[in-house]
Amino acid sequence: MSTAIALDVGSKRIGVAVGEGTFAFPHSTIERTNVRDDVAAIVALARERGARTIVVGDPLTMSGERALASEQIDAFVAHLARAFDGAIERIDERLTTAAAQKALIGADVSRAKRKKVIDQLAAVGILETWQARRAR
């Protein structure tokens, strides 16, 4: 069973999910500091978990176009690729944060608690999408 981690990379935080086989679980939220330290934390986690793949959410526009946010992720992925010796895959992340937010509100989770886990749940959505595509 292969392990993968997924990232929902934002400007302030990186949500992390871990997947084992067909299961995806929220893991942690990394508070952004600088690219070098952010990448080092992600690579350390991947090694600790034995992950051979890192899946990174690609923030496309609602029309499916690449925009400034996608270009910023390109630069982040380039740094990550220099430090990680496994596969790095990109997956469309449109609506993952919105879906996570809706689920948390539906579960009556307070705003303060939502802020702590929203990025992790968005990363779970990214990972589940990737897992479903692999299963096909």
Q: What pLDDT score was predicted for residue 22?
A: 82
CATH number at 50 reads 3.30.420.140
pLDDT score, position 59: 82
Residue 100 has a pLDDT of: 65
Question: What does the mean pLDDT of the chain come to?
Answer: 85
Give 92-116 pLDDT, tens digit per residue.
Answer: 876 666 666 666 667 666 767 666 7
Question: Pick the residue with more confidence: 132 or 106?
Answer: 132
Residue 95 has what pLDDT?
60
Tens-place pLDDT, residues 28-56: 999 999 999 999 999 999 999 999 999 99
What pLDDT is attached to residue 34? 95
Digit-coded pLDDT (tens) for 48-95 = 999 999 999 988 767 777 777 778 899 999 999 999 999 999 988 766
Domain containing 78 equals: 3-135
Instruction: Provide the residue type at 34 as one letter.
Output: N
How much is the pLDDT for 44? Answer: 97
- What per-residue confidence (pLDDT) applies to 118? 73
Total domain count, the chain: 1
DSSP string, the chain: --EEEEEEE-SSEEEEEEEETTEEEEEEEEEP--HHHHHHHHHHHHHHHT-SEEEEEE---TTS---HHHHHHHHHHHHHHHH--SEEEEEE-TTHHHHHHHHHHHTT--HHHHHHHHHHHHHHHHHHHHHHHHH-
Tell me if 59 sits within 8 A of 71, measured CB to CB: no
